[in-house]
Amino acid sequence: MRLLFPLILFVGLCLARPNVIEWSQLYSPAQNLSHNEAMTLKHLWLMFLKEYNHTPSFLSFRNFESNVIKMWRHLMVSSSFSVGINKFSALSPSQYRKYLGYRPSVEKLNLTIPRHIYRKLARYAPLPKFVDWRLKGRVTGVKDQGHCGSCWAFSAIGAIEGQYQRASGNLISLSEQQLVDCSSGFGNMGCNGGLMDNAFNYVKKAGGVNREEDYPYVSGVTEQPDNCSFKANISVAKVTGLVDITSGSDEELMEALAFNGPISVAINAGLTSFMMYHEGIYDDPECKGHMNDLNHGVLLVGYGEQNGIPYWLIKNSWGTNWGEHGYVRIKRAGNMCGVATAASYPLI
């Protein structure tokens, strides 16, 4: 169920549950709210507790209050995207950052994998106006990294899955857990972040990746890596190299995506507006895209245009109850959020 502001019109106090801290004990306005706003906030809080089975605390309520007020401000202005209450709504900025595991400062250790710079094709026809690799069977279902900063692993595996399907014709869900557990010697840091290029380098050295069913993901619950349990005898998707796309070039990124398949990209996902994104084309002028702004690894799977607004189509790793069933569309102009800053894909 999506918890959006208009739904409060249909909610009563019956949503309260046993053992919830009494409202009078919890709430004393930290913001200058009217009586109606305070009551609306109360309804939304009770809805949030019920929907996400959240254990209430004074601090989590304060975080929720701050985020909801930002949501209200967004709803008051015209925008190409909407925001709503989701599983992150009671997090502080520092708590939210734990879900953002791309580390541009991480050294690319022992990067011996053959690296190529993407070269534009000698094309005699324009690029397609619309690309969505989901429709071509090159993208697995949306996954959930859970309480682990392993977005880099999900981005890298998504790109490997797409390239393996391109080479073999078979779409197979591969193991993010293997990368979390086994690639620390290549510069990655498990649940504390990493780089997709380091992951590609590891997979080349390891000789492949296990299927997800053979090496399932558990770090979303344990919040830490496990012992490396890679089984070389049943591995698939052997990586031979990687291709880096010229930083900041929307046109090259569009071309590489259109002719090669899903691409690993890093974005700036640090704003509250992104955390609470619900649907539409994300466009926040505060979402800068320099290398040092990047903090989240995702998978670029398409592009298009809606109502005159060009967009990138991106698969996230926060489950299907975030955004557009696990996806986000980001405005494709001015390198919004840095989509074109650090993009690469593996060779198989």
Percentage above 90 pLDDT, the chain? 78
Cα(109)–Cα(202) distance, integer angstroms: 10
| pLDDT average, residue stretch 9-27 | 46
Q: How many CB atoms within 10 Å of residue 343?
A: 26
Residue 190 gets the label, from left (phi > 0), alpha (psi -120 to 50) or beta, of: left
Query: What distances in angstroms separate CA 338 from CA 52, 67, 82, 333, 343, one per listed residue?
Result: 31, 24, 20, 10, 10
Angle at 241 between CA 239 and CA 244, to 5 degrees: 125
pLDDT tens-digit series, residues 62-81? 999 999 999 999 988 879 99
Cα(146)–Cα(4) distance, integer angstroms: 22
3-class SS of residue 199 = helix
What pLDDT does 240 receive?
95
Set 63, 67, 74, 151: catalytic member: 151
Cα(332)–Cα(283) distance, integer angstroms: 9
Most confident of 4-8, 107-111, 134-138: 134-138
pLDDT tens-digit series, residues 179-203? 999 999 999 999 999 999 999 999 9
316 counts as catalytic? yes
What pLDDT does 45 receive?
93
User: What b/e sequence results for 249-276 when a residue is b if at least 16 CB atoms lie within 10 Å of its CB, and e otherwise?
Assistant: bbebbbbbbbebbbbbbbbbbbbbbbbb
Q: What is the pTM of this model?
A: 0.89
Answer yes or no: is pLDDT of 336 > 90: yes
* Higher pLDDT, residue 63 or 38: 63
pLDDT tens-digit series, residues 269-309? 999 999 999 999 999 999 999 999 999 999 999 999 999 99
pLDDT tens-digit series, residues 112-122? 677 677 767 65
Q: How confident is the model at residue 107 (pLDDT cuts 50, 70, 90)?
A: low
What pLDDT does 17 receive?
44
Percentage above 70 pLDDT, the chain? 87
Set 67, 74, 198, 296: catalytic member: 296
